Amino acid sequence: MVIDLLIKNIKLLQHNRLVEGCISVENGRIYYIGKETHQPSADIIIDGQGYVALPGAVDIHVHFRDPGRVHKEDFTTGSMAAVAGGVTTVIDMPNTIPHTNTLSRYKEKKEIGEKKAIVDFSLHAGVSEDEKKLQELLQSNIPSIKVYMPKLDDPLSTLRYIYSLIVENNLNTKVVIHAEDPQIIAQEKAKLEQRKAKRDLLYHYLMRTPKAEVSAVESVIKLLRDYQATTHLCHISTRESTNLIRKAKQEKLPLTSECTPHHLLLSYPELMNLGPIAKCDPPLRTKDDTIAILESLKEHIIDIIASDHAPHTLEEKLKGEDDITKAPSGIVGVETLVPLALTLVHNGFLTLADVVERISTKPAQIFCLNHRKGALKKGLDADIMLVDLKKQWVIKGSKLHGKTKFTPFEGKTVYGKVMKTFIRGTLVYDNEKIIGKPGYGSFVYPYWIGEKHAY
């Protein structure tokens, strides 16, 4: 027998230990993983040079800005950043132009991704104010819907309506929530305006107070007790929120959550000099909050790490130098997700198995992609990153592969570098070179849809 691909001379993570071995690939799927003995011939043989083979990362929170804001990013440039960072599957957010909040727009965006993406992908849908269109969208079997609470006049009423549709129609759609209370944000903004506070990063931090997130998380948990619809909370940023999630998990509520590298590793007081470059929603918090998030990751309270990759131009960001409200919120991160997570391993905060679970296995499980993604197992897609765990290097915005060439992690020393990335057995990134071509990426349906989809 002659197989398609053999990757030999690699280290595999098995039972929390690194062992020597190989991976063979047939028709884009893993055919064999284990010791190198008795391997069949292969059309392509790649020497892994002793690097560690890990499952490609699954980043469930990216903003590739396509369509409508492609001057910031598009599916191709976002994919380039992704594969350079070992990310092989992404789920893109709906706040594009037009907003991805109808079935027709969802289909259009899916077609754009299939033409331009290098990585495999799925899409979160957005909320339409038209109830009929929202109902059509949900009943079409979309995998997930994003509810951005700060933009809604009455987010709890919207959530009740979405939850009721999901429960009444026995839908599998996951509800993904940006949890901040718009009323509290408006109240704090009014106080700051009354005091004529200087509009700097502190203004943004105080306006989007931790109370706004905590209140929203509390409200979501109360609704879940009534509706029991699977829900995922984005970018948790406060200690109080982690405590609420801990209690919800003790109640066995269908709730999962994520944190971002920037909320995990950066804190507000240290970043005042970065100004608008460090502006994000929710804002960066205190050192105590970052410690709480790391503790929650260790305890499996927060389930996964996702990038919330949100690119902007430098010109757009710098509009906030004198008035932070004029700068858009967002930090790029799809390319630095893996090395920042691996640095936590180097520094002894997490084990390598912990990181694989948080960036690959759990994201695929939570978003129902684990029939194809998230692990190195026979029969799954051969999505593989080869990593030099000993490689020490410095993050430089100018060398990032997306359109945004700046990052609040500028100059940070990290440990662990992605050397090669494979998607479905095809080499798409090789030692600083993007090999994958636009259009290679495919839409990934959750296992409960399979081929019986309506879009």
Residues catalogued as catalytic: 308
Q: How far is CA 440 from the centre of its chain?
A: 20
Residue 239, H or E segment: helix 239-250
Q: Which two tokens stand for residue 66?
A: 């396509």
Bridge partners of 47? 8
To the nearest 10°, report the CA torsion of 319, 321, 324, 329: 60
Report whether 44 contacts 4 (CB < 8 A).
Answer: yes
User: Which residue bears the tokens 């990751």?
Assistant: 297
Buried b or exposed e, range 74-85, using 16+ CB within 10 angstroms: bbbbbbbbbbbb
What is the residue whose two structure tokens read 């690939």?
25
Q: Which of 125, 119, 117 is nearest to 83 (CA)?
A: 119
Close Cβ partners of 424 (under 8 Å, ≥ 6 residues apart): 28, 29, 120, 381, 382, 383
Q: Burial of 188 by CB count in 10 Å (0-12 exposed, 13-18 middle, 19+ buried)? A: middle
Please give the Cα distance from 199 to 306 (Å, whole number): 29
* Nearest residue to 101 via CA among 140, 46, 156: 140
Residue 124's identity, in one-letter code, is H
